[in-house]
Structure 1
Amino acid sequence: MQKRLPKYRSVIIRTASYLYILVFVYAAVSKLLDFENFRVQLAQSPLLSAYAGLIAPAVIILELLLALMLCFKTTRLTGLYGSFFLMVAFTVYIYLILNFSDFVPCSCGGIIEKLGWTEHLVFNIAFAALAVVAIVLLEKEKSSRTVVVILKSVLPSLLAAGLVVGLFLSSEHIIKQENNFIRRFGQHPIRDEKSLDMGANSYYFAGMVDGQIYLGNTTAPLILTTVDTALTTKKSIKIRLDNTGHPFRFIQAQVKPPHFYLYDGTVPVIYRGQLGDSLAYTISFEDCYFSQLQVIDSLSFVFRAQSSQTKTQVLGRLNLYQNPKVRLNETLLEKQVDGMFDTDGWLLRDEVTRELLYVYTYRNQFLVMDRELNLLRKLHTIDTTSRAQVQVRALSDGRHKMDAPPLQVNKTQAVHGQVLFNQSNLMGKFESREIWKQAAVVDLYRTGKQEYLGSFYVHDRGKNKLSRLFATDKHVFVLSGSEIKRYRFAQAVTRHFRTGEAENLEQSRQ
């Protein structure tokens, strides 16, 4: 019996080696044949996203190198130790995915493609055990001491586990706080539920009250339309103004219960009406010119305007009860080129937290402010365009004109519960150009601190692309062409929302 034992040892060692060769060659070739897809899928990993560009080729090279080492008797033991190290690393990676990941990604090529994550965890554990058996038998042939074999087996496993955990922690920090423009697309963060054809492509979101979405219309500015959140009924009301004798150029509507507001900053005039009534009265006339406006309450507003002194864009506050009514904050919007085009962006209000946001159009930055326009946080999006790429020429009459089309970074936004939904205009690393031709990309960010939360696609409706966003506790509504569409958020999105209960309680005590 003792004479036959070395033969069985040899068979087991060769069998383990050949199985590893088969697995590694198959996996490496599969990844290599579809390398771009493998790298894209690895970039979606919630553990290793930040290192996809390095890890993708490194894994393939290491698998092929280990397969080669296992072919030769002189390097087989080293190859088995390396195989054990790599298999332990894969096992720890899958364990972290299943237990500590924000989401479980799709498979990423090779044999993983044929198995689920749990099944592959079992597969890896079995192969790691097979490597240990082969290592022990091979070390016994060399008469190695048992304690040496144990140490040489335990140390690689600890090193592999530590390396994967370290990469995970480092990658999470980089992706969420110091992103180098790698997006993560979770599994089904939104679900397409329903759509309604509005009959025109000129609508925009004006607000929401008691389950009714209010829509303004750029081509019919005195028509206010309501649609229920189930997208089953649509009603329109024609607004009557107490004074129509102004040279209107761009009337817009906004709803903040219990009132609706119509305004045109080129006049400048602001009207206010009671919801349920069609008559709107003038509450502000010639107090200040503005290009954007957000309602704070029935008598106070924040706006964006052009400073008469510096000719740059500024943010300001209009309070009809104060004297003076208008107060400007000329330090919030930072000039990079001309102070006009380079500071272009969108002024938003979070109805849950009552914070204000200003999202720059041509740079990767957004500001978070309180209702008094005090700067709370200066945060950035994950692209790398920190300086507005605009070319501006000054005209003889003092006006400015763009010399070339600018690089648009951010297109349209919505904010809800300290989560910013930002439609990006720039393609990130490891992303498919074909998908970009068929869909818009919406990135999610916390507004309470610097953190990127993930991204999702909103697919085009034929030739119609996303034009406006509106977010609620459970849904995101999208205007695309003449349609309004409703998507339901997955729990992976809604868990990031902050409720307004604590703030409302605190306000009730004051």
Structure 2
Amino acid sequence: MKVRRIILWGICLLYVLLFVYASVSKFLNFQNFRMQLGQSPVIKGFADIIAWGIPCIELVTSFLLLHKRTRIIGLILAVLLMTMFSTYIYIILYHAVSVPCSCGGILEALGWKEHLYFNLGILLLGIWALSIALVLNKWINSVFIQVGLVAINILIGVLSVVLLYVTSERLIRYKNPFIRNYSHRMVKKGVFNLGVNSYYLAGIDTSFLYLGNYTRPLQILKIDQDLEASERITIKMSKDDLPGKAAQSRVIPPNVFLLDGQISRILKGKTTDWQMTFRWDGSKQFSDPVQFDENQWVVKHTIYKKRKRAMGILKMKDSLPIQSKPMLLKKQIDGFFDVSGTLTKDPITRNMVYVYRYRNLFEVMDSLLNPVFTAHTIDTIQKAQMIIDSVTLKNQYKLISSVTVNTTAVAYNGLLFVRSKILGKYEPELIWEQADVIDVYQLEDGAYLNSFYVYRMNQAPVRQIFIWKNDFYGLTGDYLVRYDISQVWKQALNSKE
């Protein structure tokens, strides 16, 4: 009997030592602890509640363990806590999309697997101590009832964490309180030095990337997708067809296009010889052209009478002006600056997506520009924050200041990738000085999926992004970078399952 009491007291002291140390460490580094919970792939949706709740429960449990009359209740709570901690680590290891950094404090040197084994060992000691306490206090003498009590306690602990995990996942995906779910396994696969920062994506196919140059409209840089070899190409045409300096190229093999929205001109040729053989001249200026099919483009244009921007369909074989869709862009302030954004086409599903620059909104349309649904990015800026003032010329205005939300975006194979400029909850500001954040959404329902970092080259932000299969490409300063994003597709598949 005396040996049992010594064993019981020793295990209780061990628990008190662990819980008091853990809770005090959490309170002393509370902001860091809460940030770690906020970046956890399991319980980030309840980070604020858990950040306060866990250390408080640990202290209460320690107090109960130190007193003989409340020791059994303390042991029940101790076993429950260790079950929850062990279940949390198991989910992190075998079910979470990403594995965060290991815990700090006394267990900082342990990896997640070692931490799981440690917790299971402490849990077994707690179960042993609870069974001794039940017998010594003559609460329950039946072995079967003791086993049942322990089993129920463990089951409650496991189900509690599983329920938190499932609820948190649903909260983050559909009612996000601006907490990002980071994927930590994005591997940089290559970097290509472009020499200048005036390049933009003109096209992509199964083997090559085609980059246009804002300062040299007739130049195309052809790069293999491994970023190991390149070729400079010059577009050829008649002198009479020469566009202005605002012209942009688009390469959609086997065709190549040169589009100048300021003079409403489109030239078309073949990638076999890069010779322009077809010319179309329209009557309205346009911008941001995205190819709808070989002879049709979705563009943005200005309705001058109403001083607003609109989207429309431009048909190269039609002499009629742009078929405007004025209701697609949602006005909030002026209908001109506030509707700025990125238009992108999913080459697989053929859906069109418009991501607003100054607010947390994107719209999904079918290939005929019919609205499918409207969704929100995970930040909280629902209304454009900008100051617009008039200039000396009549009916002309300028944008004085604004808060940019989404700088650029690209749709691919049912997913939308958006580069955000808004810092989320529990995110360290330091890393935002070194990298840009890409948020990923599912286009079938607008649900948020995850996020990942793209690190800047020479401190230059990522200005354009594009996807091909498992590869992510970004233009940052004078460089083209390539990342492996197979983890994103894996999570997208898991979420559907």
- Give the TM-score, by structure 2 length: 0.92
Alignment correspondent of 2:331? 335
Query: Pick from 109, 112, 116: which aligns with 1:114?
Result: 109
**Conserved? CA contact 1:242–1:282, under 8 Å:** no
**Conserved? CA contact 1:418–1:497, under 8 Å:** no
* TM-superposed deviation, 1:322: 5.5
Alignment correspondent of 2:159? 162
Q: Alpha carbons of 1:450 and 1:109: their partners in 2 closer, same or farther (altered >3 Å)?
A: farther
Equivalent position amino acid for 2:122 in 1: F
Q: SS state of the match for residue 469, structure 1? A: strand
Alignment gaps of 5+ in structure 2: none
Alignment correspondent of 1:99? 94
- Kindly indicate whether residue 293 of structure 2 is the aligned counterpart of residue 297 of structure 1: yes
Q: What is the root-mean-square deviation in Å for CA atoms of aligned residues? A: 2.2
Q: SS state of the match for residue 495, structure 1? A: helix
- Kindly indicate whether residue 175 of structure 2 is the aligned counterpart of residue 172 of structure 1: no
- Kindly indicate whether residue 484 of structure 2 is the aligned counterpart of residue 488 of structure 1: yes
Work out the number of aligned pairs and report it. 490
Alignment correspondent of 2:44? 49
* TM-superposed deviation, 1:18: 0.9
Alignment correspondent of 1:25? 20
- Give the TM-score, by structure 1 length: 0.90
Identity percentage of aligned residues: 34
**Conserved? CA contact 1:269–1:282, under 8 Å:** no
Q: SS state of the match for residue 280, structure 2? A: strand
Alignment correspondent of 1:228? 224
* TM-superposed deviation, 1:152: 4.8
Q: SS state of the match for residue 68, structure 2? A: coil
| Runs of 4+ that moved beyond 4 A | 147-152, 243-247, 321-325
- Kindly indicate whether residue 36 of structure 2 is the aligned counterpart of residue 7 of structure 1: no
Q: Per-residue displacement from partner, 1:300-357 (whole Å, max 9, x unpaired)? A: 1111111234322111112234585632111111111111111100111112222211
Alignment correspondent of 1:194? 190
Deviates more, 1:263-272 or 1:33-42: 33-42
Counterpart-to-counterpart distance in 2, 1:280 and 1:112: 67
Counterpart-to-counterpart distance in 2, 1:303 and 1:26: 62
**Conserved? CA contact 2:291–2:298, under 8 Å:** yes
Counterpart-to-counterpart distance in 2, 1:228 and 1:163: 50
Deviates more, 1:414-423 or 1:241-250: 241-250
Q: Alpha carbons of 1:380 and 1:447: their partners in 2 closer, same or farther (altered >3 Å)?
A: same
Alignment gaps of 5+ in structure 1: 1-5, 499-510
Query: Pick from 408, 413, 416: which aligns with 1:412?
Result: 408
Equivalent position amino acid for 1:122 in 2: Y
Please list, as runs of the form range in 1=range in 2, the aligned pairs for 1:435-454 lying within 5 A after superposition.
435-454=431-450
Counterpart-to-counterpart distance in 2, 1:112 and 1:304: 57
**Conserved? CA contact 1:350–1:417, under 8 Å:** yes
Query: Pick from 362, 365, 369: which aligns with 2:361?
Result: 365
Q: Alpha carbons of 1:257 and 1:386: their partners in 2 closer, same or farther (altered >3 Å)?
A: same
Counterpart-to-counterpart distance in 1, 2:369 and 2:211: 27
Q: Per-residue displacement from partner, 1:49-95 (whole Å, max 9, x unpaired)? A: 11112212221222222223322333322221111111111122223
* TM-superposed deviation, 1:257: 1.6
Equivalent position amino acid for 2:159 in 1: G
Equivalent position amino acid for 2:194 in 1: M
Q: Alpha carbons of 1:140 and 1:352: their partners in 2 closer, same or farther (altered >3 Å)?
A: same
Deviates more, 1:148-157 or 1:46-55: 148-157
Deviates more, 1:366-375 or 1:247-256: 247-256
